[in-house]
Structure 1
Amino acid sequence: MNKNTQHQATLKRLERFSRFTDSSIGIPFTKFKFGIEALIGILPVVGDLAGLALSTYVLFEAQRLGVGWGVKLRIIINMLIDFTVGLIPFFGDIFDAYFKANTRNTQLLKRYLHERSKKEDL
């Protein structure tokens, strides 16, 4: 399997993961969706720690893909924002449903790999 095919397969897995954690549950009669991470974040501290643990999957894949430290640092910052604000009772749960850290981080990886692919084609 060539490098581009591997990257596409990884991105596809991460997009499925992000959808599950960030937007797999729809609110009837609205377009708003939230995911399992916002749901488990309702549990004080333990739920937020579980969400942080789930988010490390995107960071793990970024490391496996050889992503630069700049992108990994932005991923970590998004994870920490999601975790820290998520600790605030009630407001943190609402924030979790809107912030969608895993989706943001998957998009960061997607842009990075697209840019890297363009540079390699030159």
Structure 2
Amino acid sequence: MPVTQTARDLDQKIARLDRLADRLDTRFRIPGTGLRYGWDSILGLVPGIGDLATSGPAAYVVFEAWRMGARKRTLVRMAANSGIDLVIGGVPLFGDMFDLFFKANRRNLALLKSDIARNARQSKETIHG
């Protein structure tokens, strides 16, 4: 069941999840390019276990989104992003290239931030409207 939280609590959790998504998807940059990659791409190079290892933190992001009160639709989309990243990322070579561009954790954070902003707008409308 989602936990009741203050706006400050939500901001702190979002910031923590943002740092995690950064480490997983965009922590490093290939010099001379705008191409960013993270530990998801690096660990994905290890056949068999690399993508499984990064699915744990990805599942944690979805779990925290649930605890923060994200809508079911948002959670399903986040889980789908993580699942796509796991399945396609596990394909040798193609999956490694896919990981460089898909950035499931960054996508999931964008979905969560949008959902929280939507919920905040609806709460204000309910109070003031």
TM-score under structure 1 length normalisation: 0.95
* Equivalent residue number for residue 66 of structure 1: 69
* Equivalent residue number for residue 121 of structure 1: 124
Amino acid at match of 1:10: K
Given the alignment of the two structures, is residue 98 of structure 1 paired with residue 101 of structure 2, yes or no? yes
* Equivalent residue number for residue 3 of structure 1: 6
The structure having more radius of gyration, on CA atoms, is: 2
Which segments of 5 or more consecutive residues in structure 1 lack a partner in the other structure? Answer: none
* Equivalent residue number for residue 89 of structure 2: 86
Q: Percent identity?
A: 34
Distance in 1, Cα, partners of 2:13 & 2:37: 22
* Equivalent residue number for residue 45 of structure 1: 48
**Deviation string, structure 1 residues 51-103 (Cα, Å, up to 9, x no partner):** 11121121121121122211111011001100110111101001011100000
Q: Which runs of 4+ in 1 moved over 4 A?
A: none
CA RMSD of aligned residues (A): 1.0
Aligned residues: 121
**Deviation string, structure 1 residues 14-54 (Cα, Å, up to 9, x no partner):** 11111110000110111111001110001112001111112
Distance in 2, Cα, partners of 1:16 & 1:74: 21
